[in-house]
Structure 1
């Protein structure tokens, strides 16, 4: 088990049990107690745990549970529809487009004109299914292990597919975002793919409903200053929009 995987499991155990102890963690993972202490120190610095004598306690405010597609699609549905329509106006008329996995991204894909001639790359099965019948679209589906909860391709194959791309625009989804914490998601493998998409695009558009602002998940895949445009809804306050804008992105509230 790699260190990031071990640390993710430590945080999960702390959430489930209310406390984790150094000796038992060392035994469970087959590593030294010093290795566990280093893990706990790293997790405390990241704000994910609070160190106590002999172990650690969960930090408040961290989300580890990821809802399924059906639940996410029905949450803030009207806001997501407006966000998708606003984001449509930001897409290039020609060139290349990366589409991330996410229910709002899938709504955006469904709004693309049927005569669109873009080159589209996606790791999301729902997005690819929506675009498969577009006659002029050059559609590329990223391979990899399928995460059933998000129906997204992840891991080494997906990262290899994305490594050499230079797309005009990437449309990225997130589970949580804020000026302080950046863009976060519960799963390390999914975070790696999102990070690769951000790195592979000349322009990054984040689409996320305002209910995700302030939510903080285990894996950060981008900082706010790596995003060019944030498209959200009017539920995001003027103060929070200003916090984001101060870091560089344009903020559009649909």
Structure 2
């Protein structure tokens, strides 16, 4: 009887351990395969779709076969009785939340006095709609919306737009520097240790391709400019969904 019990326990342990080992082996294969393309894999996880893996890299999200021999770039959707949902956005939302926590201490923040909501915005100094959004900062704040900025110089980290936005982040008075720069004033050049380049890289990884790009606390990303009133409506609809 004891031998049978030991055999059952041993078999059960092997059944639990084998999938875990398989995932680890597949992860190594995927990392090695994608490295040949110059992609640095930061994490690998099985997708909800059978035999498909999510690979989060320094160039964003990709999908691969278990052996890493097939690569897909794009979005994966799940069709259910409730409708259609993006599995890609669900996975990226988790990464975005982690990133917002990581960079929380290095954002430039324009707080609302009576804060009800907050939005995190990837911004550039020369983008027309970024300037429009910033010019309405008082209206966002009056509606209880705190605006938190992350840097996304559209020209990349070798551009003048990066040098200028880094200087804003390195200013003693970041808020005034941001307002002046978006008003067209020349930016006094400064260098510091704040993770401006890292913010830009984070944006590229999570699907930011233009500015402004707005992230909500749940990791959902809204591309493009939204008026203060539109953002208030979005937040209010979220509150209704949560209450329901």
TM range (shorter): under 0.3
Q: Which has the higher helix share?
A: 2
TM-score (norm 2): 0.27
Bigger Rg, which one: 2
Q: Which has the higher strand share?
A: 1
